[in-house]
Amino acid sequence: MDDRISKTLKSWLRDTPRLALLAALAVVFLLPYAWMLAVSVKPKSEVFSAALSLWPATWHAAENYGQVLREVPVLRYLWNGAVVCALILAFQLAFALPAGYALAKLRFRGSRTLFAFVMLGLLVPAHVPAIALYIAFANAKLLNTYTALVAPFTISVFAIFLFRQFFKALPDDLINAARIDGMNEASIVWRVAVPNAWPAATAFAIFSVVAHWSDLFWPLIVITKGDLYTPALGVLRFHSQEAGDDYGALMAAATLTMAPLVAAFLVAQRRFIEGITMTGIKG
Amino acid sequence: MADAAIHRVAATAAVRAPIGEAAAAWLLTAPAIVAFVLMLLVPTIAVCLLALTDFELGVPTFQFVGLDNFAELMRDRNFAIPVRNTAFFVALVAPLSILMGLVLALLIEANPRGRTFFRAAFFLPVVSLMVAMATAWQYLLHPTIGPVNAILRDLGLATPNWLGSSEWALISIGLISIWENAGFNMVLIMAGLTAIPRELYAAAEIDGARSAWARLRLVTWPLLGPTMLFVVLITTIRAIRTFDTVAALTQGGPNKASELIVYTIYREGFTYLRMGYASAMTVVFLAVVLGLMALQTRLIERRTHYG
Amino acid sequence: MTGISVENIAKRFGDVAALKGVALDVAPGEFVSLVGPSGCGKTTLMRIIAGLEMPDAGTVRIAERDVTGLRAADRDVAMVFQSYALYPHLTARQNMAVPLVMRRLNGWQRIPFLGARLPGTRNIVANIADEILRTAQMLSIEALLDRRPGQLSGGQRQRVALGRAIVRRPKAFLLDEPLSNLDASLRVQTRKEIVELHRRVGASTVYVTHDQTEAMTMSDRVAVMMAGEILQIDPPERIYGDPADLRVAAFVGSPSINVFDASVETGGRVAVDGYATGLATRASGRVVFAVRPEDLAPDQRVGMPARVEHIEFLGESLLLHARHARTGTAMIARLDGRERGAFAVGHDLLLRPDTARAFLFESGGKRLRAERMAQSAAEPVHG
């Protein structure tokens, strides 16, 4: 027993330099979060006087968060963010799952060409078609609508690519068995392929939501009306127009808009990391 | 009876398969094709064509100007500066965030102790709303009330105006990007590390690779090759299209010192509404991205060994 | 003088005792197989000999040197892994060079480009190249030396892995299921080649396998392991013909040995449901009577009553699957293939064990030394 304790102790001791280095780095990485939370509950006077103390002398959380909720429709922004992310994801999956299946499992003329277009699409950053899309939406009087926020991202060539790779690994015999059992291709997609694609679909969903929840470029272009602001746009506007150097309120706003995704991450940490890694590695 | 029915179905299915399969394939891909053409293909081609015009939003007429936009870009100081800034930025952010990610991944994977916690801590920036974190960084780096300068002041060091001075603004944005990307690279590299068969380390040990360094050189580094190729590519592209922090913190200032190319495109196209000119910038941007990807793939592939 | 000597090795993984005080001696140049079902601890024992795993207790000696505390890199052992574990980015030649380079060149000399310019490097490198070529010739893989593992077939990879192990002439040679990733025909051929190679190299060899045929055909001695213990170490013919434990008897031989619940009656006579087996023992109570399929044959007069359930015709032989008429115990008899026509499913017959070659075990599994009784005593007790 003693032997075991001394063994554990020794292994901790040997591990100390590594743990110390990692802990120091983690402190640096988490610094912005610590101060963001601290400042969000400090009164203005403390923000200006005692920069290095994390714990507030006077608790000012109610005032800061209250001010944000009063002056800025934060909940509205969060709602917009959720709606936009959900719509984008729904369309991406609805378009990409069948396409990925067809490219992986069906033989037809033109499949190689289609796949070449997918690979080509992977190389083009989303900023490239933005100007033309903006002109089109402006002419169609679609600026300042959910449509403008969602439509450009309904197609994800990356999702098609990911699902194609995933379906490739599905045994052909499974598909053939479904055909023998009398299913047509559409029902094979929804009843055989998709239920087997959950790992890839979850991974992609996490990747997609993270990307679009945080996106600033496109909402900044097509949205000017406050009631359609996404969280990212809301923070930016609050930052540049109203808050000035009222850091308490600003940090409260930042905390509120960031909270949903970070909370989701902390709850389903492994899923998130697996999701990003899987989409990352295969991309 | 049932037998006969199954035979008949199987027979018709066999005959019909090739045509039915193609029709089904087109039906299944149709929504994706339509969306691809409308949202990606046509707009991208349109941008390439717009680059050859003097189109401005709100101006009723426009005309074909050939390569004039590109000629103007070559002379335009307002374009040369962001291009130079972006090159410097990528050269700063990509190597450092990859190195940081590699060091973190190797340190965390060296021992399962603390793995989950550290991985989450370093990954947190990836799932954080960048604009919100940018405001937190702005406070941290604030020249007078910011904690970073408070510490530097206590240590008796110089206290730069991180985001407000032309010497430091771009570097500060770069540091934030390194902070943002290191955790992302870390999880990619960790995935690459776990994919290395454990038996190879046992073999290296048997073969006499005594030090951790020898095993790193013999096994880890070569087998991480394909992962590193991918990490280098994706980090370069992530760095080159940095926008959020610039928009939130400096708007490219002071005096364009921290202006990056995507922000220039944004301002030219959507603030000044000079769409033709912004399109030409976009085309250059696209060409640079494609060129870099081709170059890196080529360079790294030559030195990477695939099993 | 011993090649490899292992004493009292114990190893726990959490609450599971993987090895419970194992001892094993391998003479110089001897080929010993560790065989047993998966999870019996054979791979753990090999990894402990290699130095890839540290034992909780016990000592490991290689060529008379205590290496218990040494790491793998400092022991003079070579190992062939189940997955071959070839470095995928190195050619076959470079793979074989690794163990030599790591041992003969120092850190400075191993630095690319620069190292080659240091004094002495050139000579060492030339020697290494020579030795690789000689080993490659021995394995007939000279033509493959400049290929990467990805460009080699399974059998070729296996040879390169063997080459990497042999090239440095180790004192001890460890093979961990090296044939399990090959297809059946290649396995038979490689079996023979490894034995020949062993004869030429002459190093003490420990060979881990779950395949009893490999163990029986290749080794000087076989160690049968189960549940973290070595049950018996003996030459193959003794393992088969004189098992020390019921589990050894049951593990070796295909189809598996027939096992009957037996009772000890007056005078120590052993009977299976009333059938006097002709064996006697000093033990009392319940014992186990076991006889191999080839030692069980139909008899007109005496034997255990059985009903034929299934017949497998294998060509030169035929397997009669039957069930004891009263106890329901399953039994298999191996008969001459030419008797194919003599039996049919559903037939009732008497199966008589060859007493001379049957075994007795305690109900706990340990072998009981049985005495053969006079032939007259082998008459059926009940008609």
- Look at B307 and C79 and tell me if their CB atoms are within 8 Å: no
C372 or C19: which leads in pLDDT? C19
Q: What is the pLDDT of residue B159?
A: 82
CB A217 within 8 A of CB A127: yes
Tell me what pLDDT residue A247 has.
83
Quick one: which of A21, A159, A172, A147 has its CA closest to A94? A159
Which residue bears the tokens 């973290």? C228
pLDDT at A191: 85
Predicted TM-score (pTM) of the model is: 0.82
Q: Pick the residue of B200, B201, B206, B223 with the most C CBs within 10 A to test the interface with C by mutation.
A: B206
Span C181-208, pLDDT tens digits = 888 888 888 899 899 989 888 889 999 9
- C167-175 mean pLDDT: 88
Distance CA C45, CA C11 (A): 9
Is C170 in CB contact (< 8 Å) with chain B?
no
- Partner residues linked to C349 by β-bridges: C306
Q: Taking Cα atoms as reference points, which of B253, B194, B257 lies closest to residue B223?
A: B194
| High-pLDDT (> 90) share of chain C, % | 52
Q: How far is CA C49 from CA A22, B202, C5, C69, C173, in A?
A: 35, 13, 9, 11, 10
Which helix (H) or strand (E) segment holds residue C306: the answer is: strand C304-313
d(CA C104, CA C115): 13
Task: Give domain status of residue B307, yes or no.
Answer: no
The pLDDT score that the predictor gives to residue A91 is 95
What is this model's ipTM?
Answer: 0.87
CATH code, domain carrying B163? 1.10.3720.10
Please give the angle made by the CA atoms of B269, B272 and B276, to the nearest 5 degrees: 45
- The whole-angstrom separation of Cα A41 and Cα A49 is 15
Model pLDDT, residue C374:
55
Q: How confident is the model at residue C2 (pLDDT cuts 50, 70, 90)?
A: low
Q: Six-digit token pair at C299?
A: 């008899």
If we measure between CA atoms, which residue out of A138, A150, A12 comes closest to residue A91?
A150
In a domain, B3, yes or no: no
b/e B120-140 (16+ beta carbons within 10 angstroms → b): bbbbbbbbbbbbbbbbbbbbb
Q: Could you tell me the residue ranges of all domains in chain A?
A: 2-63, 72-278
Q: Which two tokens stand for residue B64?
A: 């074909």
CA dist., res. B77 & res. B74, Å (int): 8
Answer whether B24 sits within 8 Å of A184, measured CB to CB: yes
Q: Please, which pLDDT band fits residue A84 given cuts at 50, 70 and 90?
A: very high
Q: Please tell me the predicted confidence (pLDDT) of residue B10.
A: 47
CB A60 within 8 A of CB A248: yes
The mean of the pLDDT values for chain C is: 88
Q: Are A84 and A148 contacting, i.e. CB atoms less than 8 angstroms apart?
A: no
User: Residue C99: which of B199, B207, B214 has the nearest Cβ?
Assistant: B207
What is chain B's pLDDT, residue by residue, as a tens digit (307 residues)? 445 555 555 444 444 445 678 888 898 999 999 999 999 999 999 999 999 988 888 787 888 888 888 988 889 888 999 999 999 999 999 999 999 999 999 999 988 888 999 999 999 998 899 999 998 998 888 888 888 888 888 888 888 888 888 889 999 999 999 999 999 999 999 988 988 999 999 999 999 888 888 899 899 999 998 888 888 888 998 899 899 999 888 888 788 889 999 999 999 988 888 898 999 999 999 999 899 888 877 776 665 554 3
Nearest to A280 by CA among B95, B232, B128: B232
Q: Round to whole Å and give the CA distance between A43 and A47.
A: 7
From the list B36, B129, B182, the residue facing A214 with the nearest CB is: B129
Sort A102 into a burial class: Cβ within 10 Å, 0-12 / 13-18 / 19+: buried
With residue C307 as reference, give the H or E element that holds it. strand C304-313
Helix or strand or coil: residue C209?
strand
User: Does residue C297 contact residue C351 with C-beta atoms inside 8 Å?
Assistant: yes
Residues A114, A101: Cα–Cα separation, whole Å: 13
How far is it, in rounded angstroms, from Cα C111 to Cα B214? 11
Instruction: Give the separation between CA B84 and CA B92, rounded to whole angstroms.
Output: 12
Structure tokens at C184: 């059946």
Decide: A205 and A89 in contact? Cβ < 8 Å: yes
Number of other residues whose CB lies within 10 A of the CB of residue C16: 10
Tell me the C-alpha distance between C348 and B223, whole Å: 65
The CATH number of domain A72-278 is 3.90.76.10: no
Cα B238 from Cα B98, distance rounded (Å): 12
pLDDT of C377: 44
- The reply to whether residue B200 touches residue C85, judged by beta carbons under 8 angstroms, is yes
Confirm or reject contact between B41 and chain A (CB < 8 A).
Answer: yes
Find out whether C21 and C6 touch, Cβ atoms under 8 Å. no
Average confidence (pLDDT) over A183-207: 86
Which residue of B lies nearest to C104 if distances are taken between CA atoms?
B208
CA atoms within 13 A on the CB side of A118: 26
Q: Is residue B129 a part of any domain in this protein?
A: yes
Q: How confident is residue C382, by pLDDT bands cut at 50, 70 and 90?
A: very low
User: Which pair of tokens denotes residue A279?
Assistant: 């989409």
Give residues with Cβ within 8 angstroms of C100, minimum separation 6.
C128, C131, C132, C167, C168
Minimum mean pLDDT range among A17-26, A52-61, B141-150: A52-61
Cα distances from A207 to residues A85, A118, B242, in angstroms, run: 11, 18, 18
Q: Average pLDDT in the C329-341 region?
A: 90
CB contact residues (below 8 A), chain B span 201-220, against chain A: none
Q: Which two tokens stand for residue C366?
A: 């340990």
Note the pLDDT tens digit of each residue in C109-155: 777 777 777 777 888 888 899 999 999 998 889 999 999 998 999 88
Nearest to C32 by CA among C169, C195, C165, C192: C195
Q: Does B146 touch chain A (CB under 8 A)?
A: yes
In this predicted structure, what is the pLDDT of residue B306? 47
> What does the DSSP 8-state code read for residue A73?
-
Least confident of A112-116, C58-62, C179-183: C179-183
Q: Vertex B295, ends B292 and B299: CA angle to 5°?
A: 135
What's the structural domain count of chain B?
1
Indicate the pLDDT class of residue C376, thresholds 50, 70 and 90. very low
Can you tell me the distance from the alpha carbon of B234 to that of A131, in angstroms, rounded to the nearest whole number?
A: 24
- In B, which residues are within 8 Å of A36 by CB distance? 132-133, 135-136, 139
Q: Is B146 within the bounds of a domain?
A: yes
Dist. CA A203–CA A219, nearest whole Å: 24
**pLDDT band of C91, cuts 50, 70, 90:** very high
Window 221-280 of B, Cβ < 8 Å to C: 222-223, 225
Instruction: Give the helix ranges, DSSP H, for chain C.
Output: 42-50, 92-104, 114-117, 121-138, 154-166, 184-201, 212-218, 236-241, 246-251
| Measured distance CA(C350)–CA(C273) in Å, rounded | 13
Whether A17 contacts chain B with CB within 8 A: no
| Backbone φ, ψ for residue C101 (5° rounding) | -60, -45
> What domains are there in chain C, each with its CATH number?
4-246 (3.40.50.300), 255-377 (2.40.50.140)
Chain C contact present for B210, CB below 8 A: yes
> B120 to chain C nearest CA, in Å?
27
- The domain containing residue B189 runs over which residues? 68-301
Q: What is the pLDDT of residue A120?
A: 87
B43 within domain boundaries: no
By DSSP bridging, strand C16-26 and strand C4-13 are antiparallel
**Residues C232 and C216: beta-carbon distance below 8 Å:** no
Contact list, B214 vs chain C (CB under 8 Å): 102, 107, 110
CA-based torsion, A115, A116, A122, A127: positive or negative: negative
Q: Give percent above pLDDT 90 in chain A.
A: 31
| Residue B61 located in a structural domain | no
Query: How far is the C-alpha of B222 from the C-alpha of C150, rounded, in Å?
Result: 15
How far is the CA of B22 from the CAs of A107, A135, B28, B29, in angstroms?
7, 36, 10, 11
